[in-house]
């Protein structure tokens, strides 16, 4: 027997409509590439989103079309989130830190029809334009007065796309399972892989955020997402904030400690979200000034494991740390480590111990750990195994990539995270290792296999391995260990140049170790475990 309730599809555009009606004065404050601070409200934004949607329709955008963005955190990028998905198209956010090769791949793989870019990134697009789809149109996200001179033929001006368009729109109805967003991750070997979010999954994730972090996501709170809009939709904040009435303070491209401190201080931001490397810079600035930014009381740290010293530094200054874990494939939130009331009075050392874990699972995300044979392991805080997840906000496969999809699911449809973990009886997750040899530097994945394949192409290299070594700033950095061919002497500069030609700068190892041979396992494979032990203190 079915219930007798109305069924209305969950759609992203309904969030901005709701916010405009119920939180009309909620703010979006943006540091613009034009050099100034821009202020607007949810009500005003809803009008501009409608104008942008009409402009996209005028450009011939159809449901399912992929519309790319290459932009900082700002109000125009926020508008694109709603206008693109609102008319049934797919918002494809691109990470500007990707190498040219990776960016070319994902734009072509996604078959993007239009690319919206901030003025900062126009030179990148100019260099790569010949490798993108021939019919790709480019829109520069500024007004006519600030349009840069460019070699991009037919480049459009963002504000002119909105000019004269109606400020109201009847959003089309469609199935809530229709695709809404696309984000590629290079978290595994080979080409980047696309995670295709639906309207339903996006709304459910936003609901989950609101009920999981209620002290932050509420009317009147001011939140600064340092995590980029191109990094798994800024962890869902563009949807959860307007849904809850919280205001968003966008930092643009200025993410250094001084700039962040000044913005936090001036705008009286309560909560800021981002990866550990950002907070290390901010903490240095806090220490130099001898005070916290005005009103600052909460920080969400994700993307990579937060160093204990960083958690302790914030907590001792009265800033609550919420250590969170997730993946692009999970929308991304999987766990959060705000402590329950019964742990609030624990001694500080014990509280920091708890907060150093990845925390408890959020509603809708099921977790299990299994041994090598796939047998479930108990959640006893001791047994460790491969971490698998499933839920309504977790991918069921990579976008148009069945070859990459098949290996990451078990026979029951659970997704393999690639992590080794333990879960205790109270539901706290702790990641203990990675089953794949990935390096997470500054919150971004680096594939060791990709680096090794490039280096092995050098004629003077007999063998090589890339491992992660600890780094005080970036959490991890890649270390390249090379075995030269007999009677050959490959030069470090040559190998680094070879890598730099194929990868983004931040993916290139900082140093190279030359050895006579690599340690091997009993089956003849390179023992990266041994290498990691040898270089446990980092670098040479």
**DSSP letter assigned to residue 538:** S
Domain that holds residue 449: 438-534
Check which CATH number belongs to the domain holding 492 and give it.
Answer: 3.30.300.30
Say if 136 falls within a structural domain.
yes
Catalytic residue, from 267, 329, 452, 476: name it.
Answer: 329
- Identify whether 185 is a catalytic site residue: yes
Rg of the chain in Å (alpha carbons): 23
**What is the spatial distance between Cα 263 and Cα 254, in angstroms, rounded to a whole number?**
10
Q: Is the dihedral of CA 17, 21, 26, 29 positive or negative?
A: positive
Catalytic residue, from 273, 279, 445, 474: name it.
Answer: 445
H helix runs in 399-491, sequence order: 402-405, 448-455
Q: Are residues 59 and 174 in the same domain?
A: yes
**What is the spatial distance between Cα 445 and Cα 330, in angstroms, rounded to a whole number?**
16
**What is the spatial distance between Cα 194 and Cα 109, in angstroms, rounded to a whole number?**
9
Say if 276 falls within a structural domain.
no
H helix runs in 215-256, sequence order: 232-235, 237-244
Q: Are residues 14 and 149 in the same domain?
A: yes
Check which CATH number belongs to the domain holding 168 and give it.
Answer: 3.40.50.12780
Say if 166 falls within a structural domain.
yes
Catalytic residue, from 142, 185, 277, 335: name it.
Answer: 185
Q: Find where tokens 């939140």 sit.
A: 223
Q: In Å, how far are 106, 133, 134, 190, 246 from 109, measured between CA atoms?
A: 5, 10, 13, 14, 36
Q: Which of 177, 198, 219 is the last residue of a domain?
A: 198
Q: Are residues 13 and 87 in the same domain?
A: yes
Contact 68, 115 (CB under 8 A): yes
**271 closest CA partner among 295, 238, 235, 291:** 295
Q: Are residues 449 and 504 in the same domain?
A: yes
Say if 58 falls within a structural domain.
yes
**DSSP letter assigned to residue 121:** G
**What is the spatial distance between Cα 322 and Cα 300, in angstroms, rounded to a whole number?**
5
Q: Are residues 528 and 402 in the same domain?
A: no
- Identify whether 44 is a catalytic site residue: no
Check which CATH number belongs to the domain holding 411 and give it.
Answer: 2.30.38.10
Say if 418 falls within a structural domain.
yes
Q: Are residues 370 and 414 in the same domain?
A: yes
Catalytic residue, from 11, 355, 430, 440: name it.
Answer: 440
Q: Are residues 404 and 462 in the same domain?
A: no
- Identify whether 417 is a catalytic site residue: no
Q: Are residues 61 and 191 in the same domain?
A: yes
- At 175 the three-state DSSP class reads coil
**157 closest CA partner among 44, 52, 75:** 52
Contact 158, 179 (CB under 8 A): no
Q: Are residues 392 and 509 in the same domain?
A: no
Structure tokens at 53: 């949607």
Say if 489 falls within a structural domain.
yes
Q: Which of 418, 434, 450 is the last residue of a domain?
A: 434
Exposure letters 502-515 (e unless 16+ CB within 10 A, then b): bbbeebbbeebbee
What tens-digit pLDDT sequence spans the chain (540 residues)? 999 999 999 999 999 999 999 999 999 999 999 999 999 999 999 999 999 999 999 999 999 999 999 999 999 999 999 999 999 999 999 999 888 999 999 999 999 999 999 999 999 999 999 999 999 999 999 999 999 999 999 999 999 999 999 999 999 999 999 999 999 986 545 789 999 999 999 999 999 999 999 999 999 999 999 999 999 999 999 999 999 999 999 999 999 999 999 999 999 999 999 988 889 889 989 999 999 999 999 999 998 778 788 899 999 999 999 999 999 999 999 999 999 999 989 999 999 999 999 999 999 999 999 998 999 999 999 998 899 999 999 999 999 999 999 999 999 999 999 988 999 999 999 987 666 667 888 888 787 778 887 998 899 998 889 999 999 889 899 999 999 988 889 999 999 999 999 899 999 999 899 999 888 754 346 788 789 888 876 544
What count of residues does the chain have?
540
Q: Are residues 412 and 471 in the same domain?
A: no
Q: Are residues 109 and 138 in the same domain?
A: yes
φ, ψ for residue 195, nearest 5 deg: -105, 125
Exposure letters 431-440 (e unless 16+ CB within 10 A, then b): beebeebbbb
Say if 163 falls within a structural domain.
yes
Exposure letters 62-80 (e unless 16+ CB within 10 A, then b): eeebbbbbbbbbbbbbbbb
**What is the spatial distance between Cα 382 and Cα 386, in angstroms, rounded to a whole number?**
13
Q: Which of 164, 198, 232 is the last residue of a domain?
A: 198
Q: Are residues 368 and 514 in the same domain?
A: no
- Identify whether 329 is a catalytic site residue: yes
Total number of domains constituting the chain = 3
CA count, 13 A, side-chain hemisphere, 26: 32
């Amino acid at each position: 027997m079915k219930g007798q309730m109305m069924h209305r599809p969950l759609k992203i555009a309904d969030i901005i409509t709701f916010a405009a009606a119920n939180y009309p004065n909620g703010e979006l404050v943006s540091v613009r590439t034009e050099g100034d601070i821009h202020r607007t409200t949810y009500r005003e934004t809803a009008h501009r989103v409608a104008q942008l949607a009409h402009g996209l329709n005028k450009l011939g955008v159809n449901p399912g079309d992929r519309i790319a963005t290459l932009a900082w955190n700002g109000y125009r990028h926020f508008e694109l989130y709603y206008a693109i998905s609102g008319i049934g198209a797919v918002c494809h956010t691109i990470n500007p830190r990707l190498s040219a090769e990776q960016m070319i791949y994902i734009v072509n793989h996604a078959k993007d029809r239009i690319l919206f870019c901030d003025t900062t990134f126009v030179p990148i697009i100019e260099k790569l334009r010949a490798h993108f789809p021939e019919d790709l149109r480019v829109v520069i996200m500024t007004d006519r007065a600030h349009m840069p001179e460019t070699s991009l033929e037919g480049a459009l001006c963002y504000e002119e796309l909105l000019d004269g368009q109606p400020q109201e729109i009847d959003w089309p109805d469609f199935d809530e399972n229709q695709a809404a967003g696309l984000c590629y991750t290079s978290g595994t070997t080979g080409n980047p892989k696309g995670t295709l979010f639906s309207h339903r999954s996006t709304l459910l994730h936003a609901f989950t955020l609101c009920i999981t972090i209620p002290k932050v996501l509420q009317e009147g709170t001011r939140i600064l997402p340092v995590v980029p809009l191109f990094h798994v939709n800024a962890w869902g904040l563009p949807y959860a904030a307007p849904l809850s009435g919280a205001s968003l303070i966008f930092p643009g491209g200025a993410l250094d400690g001084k700039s962040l401190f000044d913005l936090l201080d001036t705008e009286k931001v309560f909560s800021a979200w981002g990866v550990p490397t950002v907070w290390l810079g901010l903490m240095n600035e806090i220490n130099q000034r001898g005070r916290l930014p005005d009103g600052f009381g909460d920080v969400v740290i994700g993307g990579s494991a937060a160093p204990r010293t960083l958690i302790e530094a914030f907590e001792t200054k009265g800033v609550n740390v919420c250590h969170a874990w997730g993946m692009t494939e999970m929308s991304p939130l999987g766990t959060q480590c705000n402590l329950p009331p019964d742990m609030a009075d624990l001694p500080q050392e014990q509280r920091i111990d708890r907060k150093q874990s990845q925390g408890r699972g959020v509603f809708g995300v099921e977790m299990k750990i299994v041994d090598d044979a796939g047998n479930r392991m108990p959640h006893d805080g001791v047994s460790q195994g491969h971490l698998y997840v499933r839920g309504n906000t977790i991918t069921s496969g990579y976008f148009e990539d069945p070859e990459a999809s098949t290996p990451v699911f078990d026979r029951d449809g659970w997704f393999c995270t690639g992590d080794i973990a333990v879960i205790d009886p109270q539901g706290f997750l702790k990641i203990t290792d990675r089953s794949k040899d990935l390096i997470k530097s500054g919150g971004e994945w680096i594939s060791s296999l990709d680096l090794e394949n490039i280096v092995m192409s050098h004629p003077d290299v007999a063998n090589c391995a890339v491992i992660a070594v600890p780094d005080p700033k970036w959490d991890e950095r890649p270390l390249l260990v090379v075995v030269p061919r007999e009677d050959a002497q490959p030069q470090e500069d040559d190998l680094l140049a070879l890598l730099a030609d194929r990868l983004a700068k931040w993916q290139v190892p900082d140093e190279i170790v030359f050895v006579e041979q690599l340690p091997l396992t009993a089956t003849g494979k390179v023992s990266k475990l041994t290498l990691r032990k040898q270089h446990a203190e980092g670098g040479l």
